Structure 1
Amino acid sequence: MKSWSLFASATALVALLAGGCSTLDERQREWIFQPSDRSWGNSEAMSEGMEHVWIDFDSKVTGQPVRLHGLWLGGAPESADTPVLLYLHGAKYNVGGSAPRMRRMHELGFSVLAIDYRGFGKSSKALPSEDSAREDARAAWIWLAARHPKQHRYIFGHSLGGAIGIDLAAQVNDESGTIVESTFTSIADVVGSFKWGWLPFGPFITQRFEAIAKVKNIGAPLLVVHGSADSLINPTLGRKLYEAATVPKQFVLVEGGSHHSTGSIGEVQYRAALAQLFRMKPPTVLAAQAQEEAAAPRVTPAARPMPPADQRDAGSAPPHKI
């Protein structure tokens, strides 16, 4: 499986800068997002049974109508105690490629909505940008809030989606928490973390994704998860993002976790962090509570005793028999 490679992007960027290419912004958007309608492995098969949803809105960024495609994996049964999660994926693969991670989040107790940004999968065809992805995430959040207004709503982002998620959390004030996995502080910091990071790329980066500046503006608890063996996004960037946050927070380093395997390897740590930071109950506990409530006997109010015959209204009707 190929990973999102900023090394190739930065190498090509040097060539473009040397040649004074006028399409620098477009090329960066292509490299960072790598939009496609592809999935990977058997992840597409794992989306079977999920509900397809469509989110329509008019873009203020482009002035064009937009249609986003998403997948919904709800609770069984759905209740007011079931938290809902907006899942924001990373680069290269469509929303179907996130099905395995969606199911893991579902097993942790969430109902999950995952979307494709413009340019991915069945969503509107366009070259995505930081601005358009921000708008897409906000539209999905509004859609989710309208349909689940009474449930706790969380934001989740993986890799590039983590930076988009931090941006969204800084805009809204009705989230119960934000979770980011294998994400970074900024594109400039990612480029700078490589051995050739001393090259002067900074002034030429148009898609900056300055998560470290925006994380200070979020108002709900933050969980930052990173794998110790992540060779794409250095774990120190996840730690720096965590340290910059001012809300209740927790940093989880999953030993041996790679850029893509951290969620599965660190499931036990995930459960512990969700319980500690967000006070989330395991799905088994919620299910047991629902069963107890359903099995509990219903108390019927006792009927009021009839007054003596000589105290009844003369014109009153006789009591109904049940």
Structure 2
Amino acid sequence: MKRWSLLASAITLTALIASGCSTLDERQREWIFQPSDRSWGNTADQTAGMEQVWIDFRSSLTGEPARLHGLWLGAKPESPDTPVLLYLHGARYNVSGSAPRIRRMNELGFSVLAIDYRGFGKSTKGLPSETTAREDARAAWTWLAARHPQQRRYIFGHSLGGAIGIDLAASVKDESGVIVEGTFTSISDVVSSFKWGWLPFQPFITQPFDALAKVKDIGAPLLVVHGALDNLIRPELGRKLYDAAAGPKKFVLVQGGSHHSTNTVGGTEYREALEQLFSVRAPDLSSAEQQAAPVAPPARAAAMRPYDGGRQL
């Protein structure tokens, strides 16, 4: 979510209230999710080797059929001991835009299912909301559990996806662990963290994403990762979220990590935390495998920098 859009929402708040609650709700959903079918970078290149997945279910909210599009990247080699991960992305870009982060979680030892919420990418069209995103995450979790009932299953959420993931983890009992990166405590706290946060907006928030109230209900170990240089979701919000968790937990502050680069910059910290908290170990490559592993060319690496500077939840 861009800072200017948040500022615009505060400035125009009075006008929206005057125009009606439904308009206010729709505008908040647009600002928070920024749904689109756009991706960042070369989609075909980024998602090469990933399997296209379709998850069909009937919405309990509307009674209508719904379809989620997702990407599956299995671990190699994969065994009954391989942990599986549900990846929940943040705002603005579709699931293909998260391909680099999906690959990094795969490299850390997980088979990964990543989904687009309704309103994003190839999933069912419509303006997403906190309620529909919650239902989408639950549908994906049910799909994953049905196909991998014997494997340890984890929930991962980046930014806005972390709040959705915490909501999911608080409502299910079969997760082995939860990982959130660059995640906030609530939308109210995010807006309050800006210099104009003194404006009286709290009573008019229709999409609270109150992860702080739900994190205490997670029964599995929780890993909270935050970049020290995150200037969108401040590290103190991640720490506050961690402090509120009641179960086994670990907080990792990645020096030099921004809102989008923490997963890359903090590779070593991730590996250590996953092993300590979840006993998940990244596969060790032999010297021959390491030599054969593809290396991104300089042009592609350079293309990643604009994404790192993006502004989205």
Instruction: Indicate the structure (1 or 2) with the bigger Cα radius of gyration.
Output: 1
SS in 1 for 2:19: coil
Correspondence for 1:308: none
Aligned ranges for residues 217-232 of structure 1 at < 5 Å? 217-232=217-232
Aligned ranges for residues 152-163 of structure 1 at < 5 Å? 152-163=152-163
Q: Partners of 2:265 and 2:174 in 1: how far apart?
A: 30
Aligned ranges for residues 276-291 of structure 1 at < 5 Å? 276-284=276-284
| CA positional deviation for 1:12 | 2.8
Q: Percent identity?
A: 72
Correspondence for 1:194: 194
TM-score by length of 1: 0.86
Correspondence for 1:166: 166
| CA positional deviation for 1:43 | 5.0
| CA positional deviation for 1:18 | 3.4
Q: Partners of 1:10 and 1:25 in 2: how far apart?
A: 16
**Structure 1 position 245 matched with structure 2 position 245:** yes
Q: Partners of 1:60 and 1:202 in 2: how far apart?
A: 29
SS in 2 for 1:216: helix
Q: Partners of 2:68 and 2:10 in 1: how far apart?
A: 30
**Partners of 1:6 and 1:31 within 8 A in 2:** no
**Partners of 2:184 and 2:238 within 8 A in 1:** yes
**Structure 1 position 18 matched with structure 2 position 15:** yes
**Partners of 2:6 and 2:191 within 8 A in 1:** no
Per-residue CA distance 1:6-35 (angstroms, 9 max, x = gap):
442342343142351220000000000000
| CA positional deviation for 1:60 | 1.1
Aligned ranges for residues 116-265 of structure 1 at < 5 Å? 116-265=116-265
Correspondence for 2:301: none
Question: Which letter maps to 1:75?
Answer: A
Q: Partners of 1:44 and 1:95 in 2: how far apart?
A: 12
**Structure 1 position 8 matched with structure 2 position 21:** no
Q: Partners of 2:258 and 2:53 in 1: how far apart?
A: 31
Aligned residues: 283
Correspondence for 2:289: none
**Structure 1 position 58 matched with structure 2 position 58:** yes
| CA positional deviation for 1:265 | 0.2
Correspondence for 1:97: 97
Distance 1:248 1:43, change over 3 A: farther
Q: Partners of 2:8 and 2:169 in 1: how far apart?
A: 32
| CA positional deviation for 1:282 | 2.5
Per-residue CA distance 1:216-235 (angstroms, 9 max, x = gap):
00000000000000010000
Q: Partners of 1:16 and 1:110 in 2: how far apart?
A: 43
Per-residue CA distance 1:252-283 (angstroms, 9 max, x = gap):
00001000000000000000000101111231
Correspondence for 1:74: 74
| CA positional deviation for 1:44 | 4.6
Per-residue CA distance 1:161-218 (angstroms, 9 max, x = gap):
0000000000000000000000100000000000110111100000000000000000
Correspondence for 1:318: none
TM-score by length of 2: 0.88
Aligned ranges for residues 17-56 of structure 1 at < 5 Å? 17-18=14-15, 20-22=18-20, 23-56=23-56
Correspondence for 1:87: 87
| CA positional deviation for 1:159 | 0.4
| CA positional deviation for 1:62 | 2.2
Considering only aligned residues, what root-mean-square deviation do their CA atoms show, in Å?
1.3
Distance 1:206 1:57, change over 3 A: same
**Partners of 1:108 and 1:282 within 8 A in 2:** yes
Q: Partners of 2:43 and 2:226 in 1: how far apart?
A: 22
Query: Which runs of no fewer than 5 residues in structure 1 stay unpaired?
Result: 288-322
Per-residue CA distance 1:127-158 (angstroms, 9 max, x = gap):
00000000000000000000000000000000
**Partners of 1:44 and 1:99 within 8 A in 2:** no
**Partners of 2:108 and 2:281 within 8 A in 1:** no
Q: Partners of 2:79 and 2:64 in 1: how far apart?
A: 36
Q: Partners of 1:12 and 1:101 in 2: how far apart?
A: 30
| CA positional deviation for 1:64 | 1.6
Question: Which letter maps to 1:222?
Answer: L
